[in-house]
Amino acid sequence: MKPNHIKTYLPLLLTIVFLVACKNVKKEEAQVKPLNILWLVTEDMGAYIPPFGDNTVATPNLSRLAKEGVIYPNLYSTSGVCAPSRAAIATGMYPSSIGANHMRTTSYTAVTGLPKYDAVPPSEVKMISELMRMNGYYCTNNYKTDYQFAAPITAWDESSPYAHWRNRGKDQPFFAVFNFTDTHESGLFEPYGHRNIETRHYQSGDRSYSWKTKTKPSAAKGRMTETETTIHISRDTKFKVPPYLVDNEVTQRDLWKLYNNIAEMDKQVGAVLKQLEEDGLLENTIIMFYGDHGGPLPREKRLIYDSGLNTPMIVRFPNKVKAGTKFNNLVSFVDFAPTLLSLINQEPKSYMQGEAFLGNYQSKKPRKYIHAAADRFDGFTDAIRAVRDNQFKYIRNYRPEQGYYLPVAYREKIPAMQELLKLKSEGKLNEIQMQWFRENKPKEELFDCKNDPYELNNLAEKPEYKEKLVELRNEMDRWLAEIKDNPSLPEKELVAKLWNGKKTKPVTANPLITFESDTVIINCPTEGASIGYKTDPKAKTWQIYTQPFQVAANSKIMVKAHRIGFEPSKTITTEISKK
């Protein structure tokens, strides 16, 4: 499909489809009804589904979505792991430009010796969900919140296992995110079956929630509940094993689990789509399915080979516009935030480092490169940067003296990983399988991803590829300078930079509340802080303060401020009285 096709058809969709749908309104007075936007997000997901050429297991719901929508085979995360990639999606900025590049900045402090810290983007940066709320959208997140920073109270109308578009006001457009965990790397752990591995907890506003690792949406309310694993694919199936893994019974079983988990996830996607259809909203909603990065297997997740970065995306537009087509341009996670704004006819923010690939503000030129980074993963640090065009990838290793393989304990729970380590110790791995375990690595790597999709043959020293090497090397230098990324900066110095040399995390100043007659005016001395307020203490949602507002006499108002990367302010409660 030509790059400008979506740009041309989407405005047409917005102006025609909903004008026709409007009832009891004169044609000359008809208003365009905003589209809803639904994100269906799975974890640790390579292109392992039929719409992208892998027919190992049936995925009827995703296959239907693809048949009725557009597939995007060239979507790339900014990191081979979830939290930095989620930071890029939430802000439209590269993780390494805002201090979000090290995996889990509030964990592993016992190993790193560092204090807990959040990424600190520029003061004007808001989460994309907050920007959508400011444009009238009801925004729900069900239920991942791992952004490398604490979400302000203004980020979502709802963020919990029970968040759902059905809780919004009548006719209010929504932006809803549903996260599916079945395909996560932990789904390969043993024992496999009823995956009640652990209960995780997180904080959303002033409420705590917990969930089991094995979940599914119920048909009634979208709440998350435990479920048994269903067998979707025969255990006798012979799976294709990538050359960097060992093709034996252990790896075959892990692949069986991988595809079985995908089928289970597909069922959950179907449950949400069924709710959308039951509510009569299918043709009022742009549906977007994607994974949070590449696959879960060893030498996939956490690495910046395509196996760790590339993830499938499907977008279904109302009335199946451009059904069954393919968009071959490169797309990066940093493009999601500007694209959301573009879809609601809002110009992307100037601080955003991505570019819209849909909507009225779609970039006029197709993306030429995607960029990625790898730094600390849990307790182990590396420093790698990558740039890729439509065919070639350039990788720069800032620690060439250090081997590729990092002994991340969580990954070593995967049986196929345990098998690799066992056979390595026995000297039974072949040359390809041993590449990952090299004691050092070249400073520069260049791969032809079209002819060498597993990125096994480094072309950086070959004279015939010098021109491409120089092109991508220069592009990396340009990108690093533009986003002010210093890959050699120790994490300790990064924290000091984010905190302006102070030893403690910055704190958002308490909001200042003033009254003029019955009008409330709120300010916060901290530049860029989001301000949330409630006029009903029992209300679940904090409203976003954007301008002075009127309140009834003898009522209470609760106010809280929070700049991303800072500690939130205290909650200030004030009683409003009139003489």
Catalytic residues: 82
Which tokens is 476 given? 């990396």
567: which DSSP letter?
B
Q: Residue 45: CB partners within 8 Å, gap ≥ 6?
A: 183, 262, 290, 291, 292, 293, 294, 295, 311, 312
- Among candidates 384, 371, 329, which has minimal Cα distance to 475? 371
- Among candidates 263, 372, 246, which has minimal Cα distance to 297? 246
Backbone angles phi, psi at 504, to 5 degrees: -125, 155
How many whole angstroms separate alpha carbon 366 and alpha carbon 346? 20
Confirm if 558 and 540 have CB atoms less than 8 A apart. Answer: no
Q: How many CB atoms lie within 10 A of CB 23?
A: 6
Could you tell me if residue 455 is left (phi over 0), alpha (psi between -120 and 50 degrees) or otherwise beta? left
Three-state DSSP at 526 gives coil
- Among candidates 126, 132, 119, which has minimal Cα distance to 152? 126
Which strands, in side-by-side order, build the sheet including 512-516? Answer: 512-516, 519-523, 549-550
- Among candidates 339, 464, 344, which has minimal Cα distance to 32? 344
Q: How distant is the alpha carbon of residue 463 from its chain centre?
A: 38
Q: Please report, for residues 346, 392, 454, 488, the alpha-carbon distance to residue 448 in angstroms, rounded to integers and kept in the order given.
A: 38, 5, 9, 27
Q: Please report, for residues 36, 213, 382, 406, the alpha-carbon distance to residue 377 in angstroms, rounded to integers and kept in the order given.
A: 36, 21, 8, 8
- Of all helices (H) and strands (E), which one includes residue 201? strand 199-204
- Among candidates 435, 475, 427, 426, which has minimal Cα distance to 456? 435
CA-angle at 150, arms to 119 and 351, nearest 5° = 50
Confirm if 50 and 63 have CB atoms less than 8 A apart. Answer: yes
Residue found by looking up tokens 């990065």 in the block: 293
Residue type, 200: R
How many whole angstroms separate alpha carbon 465 and alpha carbon 388? 15
401: which DSSP letter?
T
Query: Cis peptide before 398, with omega less than 30 degrees from 0?
Result: no
